[in-house]
Amino acid sequence: MNAPPSSSSNTYRFWPLALLLAITPLAHPLLAQRAQGDLPRVHFVATGGTISNRDGGRLSAEELAKSIPGVDRYAQLTHEQFTNVASSELTLAQWVGLSKRINHLFATDKELDGIVVTSGTDTLEETAFFLHLTVRDPRPVIVVGSMRNPSTIGYEGAANLLEGVRVAAEPASRDKGVLVVLNDEINSARNVTKTDALRLQTFRSRELGLLGVVDRDRVVYFNQITQRHNERVEFDITKVTELPRVDVLMVYQGAPADLIKAAVDNGAKGIVMAVAGAGALSGNQSEGLNYAASKGVFIVTSTRTGSGRIAPPRAPGGGGGFQLSADQQRRRQFTIAGEDHIPIKARILLMLALTKTTDRNELQRIFSEY
- What does the DSSP 8-state code read for residue 280? B
3-state DSSP call for residue 336?
A: strand
Who's near 64: CB < 8 A, 6+ residues apart? 44, 46, 51, 52, 79, 118, 157, 158, 161
Mind giving me the DSSP string for 122-158? SSHHHHHHHHHHH---SS-EEEE--SS-TTSTT--HH
Q: Are 160 and 195 in contact (CB under 8 A)?
A: no
Distance between alpha carbon 326 and the CA centroid of its chain, in Å? 40
Distance between CA 124 and CA 29 in Å, rounded? Answer: 37
DSSP secondary structure string, 160-194? HHHHHHHHHH-GGGTTS-EEEEETTEEEETTT-EE
DSSP 63: H
Selecting among 50, 118, 202, 301, the annotated active-site residue is 50
Gap between the Cα atoms of 206 and 111, Å rounded: 35
From residue 278, give the alpha-carbon distance in Å to each of 80, 270, 275, 281: 44, 20, 7, 10
Rounded CA-CA distance 328/342 in Å is 24
Residue 117 CA to its chain's centroid (Å): 10
Clarify whether 303 is annotated catalytic.
no
E strand map for 227-360: 246-250, 270-275, 298-303, 335-337
Instruction: Supply the residues annotated as catalytic.
Output: 50
